[in-house]
Amino acid sequence: MTDPFRHHGGNLAAARAHYGDGVWLDLSTGINPDAWPVPQDLAIDPRPLPDPAALHALEAAAAAHFGVSPEHVCAVPGSEMGLRLLRPLLGARGRHHVPGYRTHAAVFADSTPWATGGAMAHGDSLVLANPNNPRGTLHAPEALIALLNKREAEGGWLVVDEAFVDPHPDASIAARVADQRRLIVFRSFGKFFGLAGLRLGFVVAPRAVIAGYRALLGDWPIDATALAIGTAAYRDARWIAATCAALPARAAALDTVLQAHGLAPIGQSPLFRLVESADAPALFERLATAHILVRPFDAAPHQLRFGVPHQPAALERLDQALRLG
């Protein structure tokens, strides 16, 4: 049986069952701990079926944030769901970048791993994340466009998962999506806005692909709560700008703590850092015993991913746990 802590982050129920109840500090995800503050007076009525106009408003607000046309945007109940639905729509043979998301291996039938710079067969499509997870590597848009051109020339698609790109708006290639291009981009709402429980994401794709998603999803793919909160959040330009400005300083503060304990943080995403150490399994156990959950990995037992804390008290708690070990 797969270790639940290695399958995905945020598994506090398993952590409590194994290491005991108490006040846990969850650093096992890349979800922004300083979430968008949902207004108490935000009007949400769950009684009627969601109004199609509300879905259009959400997609328009998201499209403006992404810098794309709304006709190329389809809201989905979580980008993870959107990725899984792509397989029956494209029907393509493909590859998934490693290291990367576990879900990416399920996007194409008989998907095989691909590392940067590796060869691909004619007709192969490729899915990768930018920034990468778990390493946090940020790919330049020019490099991705060159990869897209090569995939198109060989009859394949490029699928870019931009779940963590919001703090790096200049790195997104969503604006390059067009009907004549074989490019599909996924965006996540919950990570940057810190509201992952809403299960809201977006597909940015040629209109033919968008039409396929709408046929699969039906008339009411997004519930009333996600419609209202997502629309208001994407329209909150002041909060978005303030958060983009604040996240790098928080990540730098985490770097300082990790470096003070001989750990070298890896990555460019201000929402998480990766560390590599031969003592990673023991370090995971030590932190879990102190009720601090970080993310280990099946394929890389020498790696741990640390989410970026928001409150100074959380950072001090991590510092103390590392010091006492």
| Cα(166)–Cα(38) distance, integer angstroms | 19
Give the model's confidence band at 133: pLDDT under 50 very low, under 70 low, under 90 confident, else very high: very high
| Cα(255)–Cα(293) distance, integer angstroms | 17
Left, alpha or beta for 26 (phi > 0: left; psi -120 to 50: alpha)?
A: beta
Mean pLDDT calculated for residue range 278-305: 95
pLDDT computed for residue 36 by the predictor: 98
* pLDDT over 70 at 27, yes or no: yes
Question: Distance of CA 160 to CAs 29, 148, 295, Å?
Answer: 20, 10, 23
* pLDDT over 90 at 100, yes or no: no
Mean pLDDT calculated for residue range 77-98: 92
Is the pTM for the entire model greater than 0.85? yes
Q: What is the mean pLDDT of the chain?
A: 95
Label residue 66 exposed, middle or buried (CB < 10 Å: 0-12, 13-18, 19+): buried
Mean pLDDT calculated for residue range 81-93: 90
Mean pLDDT calculated for residue range 194-204: 97
Domains delineated in the chain: 4-30+238-324 (3.90.1150.10), 52-235 (3.40.640.10)
pLDDT computed for residue 220 by the predictor: 96
* pLDDT over 60 at 214, yes or no: yes
pLDDT computed for residue 8 by the predictor: 76
Mean pLDDT calculated for residue range 194-203: 97
pLDDT computed for residue 324 by the predictor: 81
Question: Distance of CA 132 to CAs 77, 137, 178, 274, Å?
Answer: 22, 5, 24, 11
Q: What is the pLDDT of residues 216-251, one digit of tens each?
A: 999 999 999 999 999 999 999 999 999 999 999 999
- Asked if 255 contacts 273 with a C-beta cutoff of 8 angstroms, the reply is yes
Q: What is the pLDDT of residues 43-76, one digit of tens each?
A: 899 999 999 999 999 999 999 999 999 999 999 9
| Cα(213)–Cα(14) distance, integer angstroms | 34
SS3 223: coil
Q: Which amino acid is at 183?
A: L
pLDDT computed for residue 3 by the predictor: 78
Give the model's confidence band at 325: pLDDT under 50 very low, under 70 low, under 90 confident, else very high: low
* pLDDT over 60 at 138, yes or no: yes
- Return all residues near 217 (Cβ < 8 A) that are at least 6 apart: 74, 76, 77, 85
Give the model's confidence band at 1: pLDDT under 50 very low, under 70 low, under 90 confident, else very high: very low
* pLDDT over 60 at 302, yes or no: yes
